[in-house]
Amino acid sequence: MRGRSQYLDHLARVPLFSACSKKELQTVARASDEVHVPAGKVLVEEGRPGHEFFLILEGKASVKRGKKKIADLGPGQYFGEMALLDRGPRSATVVADTDMDVLVLGQREFAGVIDEVPAMAHKLLTTMAQRLRESDAKAFSH
């Protein structure tokens, strides 16, 4: 585990947090855990209830719906927000393709950070709009 100030510097370089003040970053750091994940681990399983949000610090993951791969995710990208926001089942499976370091926020911490860090809420909404746009484009392209 890195030192606290190094961890804050690391978070400040993550695009999701780039508009955050130092105080807001401290809120995120306090609410989150950094976790090492071995390659091959299923982090999120389609259809299951979900209680965590993940942000990738290092490494890569695949997003799959059924057997079909729908996205690749890498450092700075995140997943698991949908089930936390609408309390529905996980919309896809996410598997670690490599060893990974992820930042994990539990449901309550995620909700707290969204309330306290508006810049992060805006970025999450932007990403959701982009994913919806991409998914519509794919659905109507054939």
Residues that bind ligand CMP (CB under 6 A): 44, 50, 63, 70-71, 79-83, 90-92, 94, 131, 135
Nearer to ligand CMP, 4 or 89 (CB): 89
d(CA 142, CA 139): 7
Closer by beta carbon to ligand CMP, 1 or else 139:
139
Instruction: Report the residue number, 8 or 70, with the smaller CB distance to ligand CMP.
Output: 70
Under a CB-based contact definition with an 8 Å cutoff, are residues 51 and 128 in contact? Answer: no
CB of 142 vs ligand CMP, minimal distance in Å: 16
Least distance between ligand CMP and beta carbon 94 (Å): 5
User: In the complex, what is the shortest distance from the CB of residue 122 to ligand CMP, in angstroms, rounded to a whole number?
Assistant: 17
How far apart are CB 41 and ligand CMP at their closest, in Å? Answer: 15
Contact predicate 39/110, CB 8 Å: no
